[in-house]
Amino acid sequence: MQKAEQKYFKDRSVFYASFPIQEQSKKKNWDYKLEPVYSVGILDFVFEDHKKEEELVHVVELKNQKGKVFYDKLKFIYLELPKFDKDVSELETRFDKWLYVFTHLWKLDDRPKELRERVFKKLFEVAEIAKFSKEEQKAYEESLKNYRDIKNIVDTARAEGRAEGKAEGELKSKIAIAQKMKAKGLSDQDIKDLTGLGDEDLATL
């Protein structure tokens, strides 16, 4: 996000986009295949060469001299917010809603009914946290850490319980099968080979 126009901002965009490209490099046996990289700029200003254009979304791609896309895995997307002038009652699409939030979030005390979807609920919660003082932020992070620690302990206990229950169930099933084998007259060695049970397990039959 960029609040004010900055000299060499386009250069800065290209510079930042180069990092996720370079981070994909691998030291061994790499064929240079890259995953797509998209640089999205949410701007509170309008580019000088866009001021006479109505479009508020600008998508920039690498093209050749004939205007054909040369490389489709690198795109620069710029949203010029000053061009968005819809009122909350005029919002029609999800994209409209996002643009409205980006434009007005700083002055919204309550979430409008038009923004009651779950994704915006999460966004407003994050925005509230961002307003915390240093002390509130520290207290929030500490409570979040405690919650995660407790949740991890509970999840681990549940997983261990399920594993123990599964192992116990499998053992009971094998013993039941072994009992039937024993009744059929199979030798202890054959029963151990077929079920995987040990001498102690056979002693309980």
Residue pLDDT, tens place only, 152-184: 766 776 677 666 677 677 778 888 888 887 887
φ and ψ of 72, to 5 deg: -100, 10
User: What confidence score (pLDDT) does residue 143 get?
Assistant: 73
Task: Using alpha carbons, list the distances in angstroms from residue 79 to 69, 73, 84, 138, 151.
Answer: 21, 19, 9, 33, 40
Domain boundary among 83, 100, 123: 83
- Answer yes or no: do 155 and 196 share one domain: yes
- Answer yes or no: do 61 and 16 share one domain: yes
Residue 158 belongs to domain spanning: 146-203
140 in any annotated domain: no
pLDDT band, residue 66 (cuts 50/70/90): very high
137 in any annotated domain: no
User: What confidence score (pLDDT) does residue 20 get?
Assistant: 93
Alpha helix (H) residue ranges in the chain:
9-22, 94-104, 118-130, 134-183, 188-195, 199-203
55 in any annotated domain: yes
- Answer yes or no: do 73 and 96 share one domain: no
139 in any annotated domain: no
Question: Would the pTM count as exceeding 0.75?
Answer: no
User: What confidence score (pLDDT) does residue 96 get?
Assistant: 92
Both tokens of 2, joined, read 């960029």
Residue 95 CA to residue 169 CA, distance in Å, equals 53
- Answer yes or no: do 159 and 198 share one domain: yes
CA 164 to chain centre: 32
φ and ψ of 75, to 5 deg: -135, 145
- Answer yes or no: do 123 and 153 share one domain: no
- Answer yes or no: do 124 and 197 share one domain: no
Number of domains the chain is built from:
3
| % pLDDT > 70, the chain | 88
Q: Give the strand order in the sheet containing 37-43.
A: 37-43, 69-80, 57-63
